[in-house]
Amino acid sequence: MATINRNYKKLPGSYLFSTIAKKVAEYSAANPEADIIRLGIGDVTEPVAPAVIKALHLAVDEMGQKESFKGYAPDLGYEFLRDVIARKDYEARGCGISADEIFVSDGAKSDCGNIQEIFSLDNKIAVCDPVYPVYVDSNVMAGRTGEYDDELRRFKGVIYMPCTKENDFAPELPAEVPDLIYLCFPNNPTGAAMKKERLQEWVDYANKNGSIILYDAAYEAFISEEGVPHSIYECEGARGCAIEFKSFSKTAGFTGLRLGYTVIPKELEAGGEKLWPLWARRHGTKYNGAPYIIQRAGEAVYSDEGRAQVKAQIAYYMENAGIILEGLGSAGFDVSGGINAPYIWLKTKDSMTSWEFFDYLLAKARIVGTPGSGFGPHGEGYFRLTAFGSRENTIRAVERLKKLS
């Protein structure tokens, strides 16, 4: 008789953003007139840049002609895309990453969720707390954790690394050495960044202990300060201990187009075994590549025209971030983030729990945000707002929030 993977039963409730979507849908159904402003899920609102649209049209036309039609993509992605990534995201920053160390995919979420498959089930993971839920949930599903502890609101067998105001929302090196360390900087959800010296300490720690750092750099394009690394490979020795994930979703508004990539240095090993061939095998066996037209769209992001356009979009969102930071700060909210990342992390009002504040904001201000506790126990009492709304909605949201305080 077939039976299920019981690890799935350890997961409490549904995926965070599915829960939020359901709550908002229920509220909208009950209040059809309500003018809701969505600053919850980290989805972009600006249209895809003209240079990318142009590349998409051209590639669509190629698909419609026999001579230029493209079927299955190469396993690792098209060379035209991997080459430009290697040059512009790495070589230009002094990081030695070659095109054949880049695996093109349909986004960082899939890659972050799937990467754990190539590691042993008895590897112990460490995550920031609060944290993007995919890292933990994908390991729970695989059976790399224990049961969920309702009281502590944590999974047993996972090393949670608190990110609090006291440590500038960047974790301390853990006393118990993890095998796999998930780091995401600039951080989702807190919006905090990590300086290069600090990240170097993590690289040294991983190299010393034989740990692998799984580095999610999905928000690197939002970095505005000097000294904050755009890639972990800016740190010395990172090729020996780190896998890096990047996404076109936020950098270039590709949330609806789906494109990302993962970097695995050829010599990177875990327990004396190379990781590159394992990920290549997974790619070849369980995945069939990102669509040709989407890979051409990704290439266009690196053209002079495309680069200028996506930079302008990021500037627009970061102005939104500034408006939220400034407005909420002046209204007495305790806020952080929003300088090197499109997320603003704020303390809830009157010591409300994160979900109480979610319901309160939805009811009183028709604003949707993300409860900090959804990202982990140290997110309790916090709330995430995104800078991805329109300018108009961002300003209106800040005005509504000011009235509450």
**Which residues between 73 and 132 bind a second copy (CB under 8 A)?**
73, 75, 106-107, 109-110, 113-114, 117-123
Q: Would you say the C-alpha torsion 90, 96, 100, 106 has a positive or negative sign?
A: negative
Closest to a second copy by CB, 147 vs 197, is 147
Closest to a second copy by CB, 234 vs 269, is 269
Site string for a second copy, 254-273 (x = CB under 8 A): -xxxx-----------xx-x
Closest to a second copy by CB, 137 vs 244, is 137
Q: In this chain, which stretch among 1-9, 26-34, 192-200, 307-315 interacts with a second copy, using CB under 8 A?
A: 1-9
Residues 44-63 touching a second copy, rule: CB under 8 A, are 44-48, 50, 53, 56-57, 60-61, 63
Closest to a second copy by CB, 122 vs 176, is 122
Number of chain positions touching a second copy (CB under 8 A): 84
Helix, strand, or coil (residue 383): strand
Nearest CA to 16 out of 144, 135, 139 is that of: 135
Interface with a second copy (CB under 8 A), residue from 28, 209, 303, 353: 209
User: Are 185 and 234 in contact, with CB atoms under 8 Å apart?
Assistant: no
| Burial class, 175, CB count within 10 angstroms (exposed 0-12 / middle 13-18 / buried 19+) | exposed
Residue 86, CA distances (Å) to 102, 195, 402 in order: 8, 23, 45
Residues 163-182 touching a second copy, rule: CB under 8 A, are 179-180
Distance from first CA to last CA of the chain, Å, rounded? 58
Smallest separation (angstroms) from a second copy to the CB of 43: 4
Residue with tokens 């929003």: 338
Smallest separation (angstroms) from a second copy to the CB of 295: 10
Q: Which tokens go with 3?
A: 């039976």
Interface with a second copy (CB under 8 A), residue from 29, 35, 65, 166: 65
Q: Does 400 bind a second copy (CB under 8 A)?
A: no
Site string for a second copy, 11-30 (x = CB under 8 A): x--xx-xx------------
Give one DSSP letter per residue of 9-73, joined into a string.
Answer: GGS-SS-HHHHHHHHHHHHHHH-TT---EE-SS----SPPPHHHHHHHHHHHHHHTSTTT---SP
Interface with a second copy (CB under 8 A), residue from 36, 41, 331, 352: 41
User: Are 75 and 262 in contact, with CB atoms under 8 Å apart?
Assistant: no
Closest to a second copy by CB, 57 vs 165, is 57
Burial 287-325 (b: 16+ CB within 10 A, else e): eebbbbbbbbbbbbbbbeebbebbeebbebbbebbbbbb
Residues 210-239 touching a second copy, rule: CB under 8 A, are 210-212
Closest to a second copy by CB, 69 vs 326, is 69
Interface with a second copy (CB under 8 A), residue from 64, 175, 350, 392: 64
User: Are 103 and 262 in contact, with CB atoms under 8 Å apart?
Assistant: yes
Q: Does 316 bind a second copy (CB under 8 A)?
A: no
List of residues 6+ apart from 229 with CB closer than 8 A: 194, 195, 196, 199, 235
Smallest separation (angstroms) from a second copy to the CB of 230: 23
Closest to a second copy by CB, 103 vs 357, is 103
